[in-house]
Chain A
Amino acid sequence: MRYNERELLSLARQPAEKAAEVLMRVPKKGSVLKKRLVKLVVNFLFYFRTDEAEPIGALLLEHCRITKEEENVFSISFMEEPERKYCFECASEEQCQEWVEALKRASYEFMRRSLIFYRNEIQKMTGKDPLEQFGISGEARFQLAA
């Protein structure tokens, strides 16, 4: 599948919502924990070798599951392959919890659900559709769930 790698690399250079040095293990046979810099930008998690400017890879965080594993550790797996886990070991339990929370909220789909929720609540409380002022109430992406 082709993709605009150039733009993705540019995204990786932008200010991150969250960044940290962690130990990371990819779901490949024989892989071990390696020190990596991870950076959360919009719905992508980029991972770098700690001394390099360009990321080794990126994970799109849609339809993924963030699981708190043992102490200091969390994992990311994807809907169609739940056993293939990307594991991350943090410096502390607190840091681990922060990452779990941040990553759970990092998907576009999560934001969409939040928006639909808020829209609905505001509509119930005030009788008005808050998206009308933006002129976007008809947009498919903001519709109440079918």
Chain B
Amino acid sequence: MKLNERSVAHYATCDSPADHAGFLRKRVERHHHHAHHHTTSYQRCWFVLKGNLLFYFEDRESREPVGLVVLEGCTVELCEAAEEFAFAIRFDDAGARAYVLVADGQAAMEAWVKALSRASFDYMRLVVRELEKQLEEACKSLAACRKSPQRSSSSSVRKRHLSNPALLPVQEKPVILENGYSVSGSSGGGGSTPGGAACPDRDGGYVKPPPLPPRRRSAAGSTTGSPTPGFSTAMPESPVSPETACFSKLHSWYGQEITVLRREWQERQKRGHP
């Protein structure tokens, strides 16, 4: 079966960060037909783990990998080899050979076993899906809290914050608006307007930040009113709605919006100057 080996080798050696790397000794099986026995020897290689692929090189400076182990569907276990700090990568397939690797010490072995156990694409996909769900839930609960009626008494606002401690850090941290300008969070009462707050520009003088961008239309299509002062409109309620759960769409969405906003702001700045 063909494989796009040149590209694979390039991926191995390019500067994208490795998930783990280090020297390991790799067991090499050699058959002696006439003697009917196996000799076991070990070859020291430089191993690089990227995603679900384990590459090995003759040495650290090699420009091309000697080999690759596709890790999808493997199990990693400690093995009772004659060697200390040995572990094995095994596959379901009964006839498949195991890759027996030997680390330099206990810590190195544990680190490799941990890294390799979590290397599969399936595992990564599981974690991503879980976080997608969590972000959706966090957005929903934030949106739900905003929709609840605003009472003027500060004590009730404080109570609401305390009842949902997850919201506290959001209020107190500086809020990053989509156009990249930050405004420090509102005071405890929750009613002051950050639009009036000033933030220092690069020269150290104070400039008013550009007006808050209009509230983002939710992906479901419902329109929302003008931004409520004092709230962190920087946290859009919609980008992680089910329709936009796809990261590449989100990425382009943010990118487009930032470009447009930046351009609008720059034009306004130009007009504002004599």
Contacts and interface: CB of A to CB of B under 8 A. Distances in A.
Interface of A: 1-11, 42-43, 54-60, 62-64, 78-81, 101, 104-105, 108-115, 117-119, 121-122, 124-128, 130-131, 134, 136, 139-142, 146
Interface in B1-57: 1-11, 14, 16-20, 50-53
Contacts of B50: 62, 108
Contacts of B20: 140
Given A1-B65, A1-B66, A10-B91, A136 B118 contact: yes
Interface in B127-157: 127-128, 130-132, 134-135, 138-139, 142
Given A127-B170, A130-B131, A60 B11 contact: yes
A1 B64 contact: yes
B214 interface: no
Interface size class of B (residues with CB under 8 A): 35 or more
Contact of B51 (A59, A112, A122, A139): A112
A5 B91 CA distance: 12
A110 B95 CA distance: 33
Contacts, number: 185
Given A11-B70, A126-B169, A1 B8 contact: yes
Contact of B128 (A1, A8, A58, A111): A111
Interface of B: 1-11, 14, 16-20, 50-53, 64-70, 72-74, 91-93, 95-96, 114-115, 118-119, 121-122, 124-125, 127-128, 130-132, 134-135, 138-139, 142, 166, 168-170, 173, 235, 240, 246-248, 250-251
Contacts of B96: 4, 6-7
A43 B8 CA distance: 12
A79 B10 contact: yes
B128 A114 contact: yes
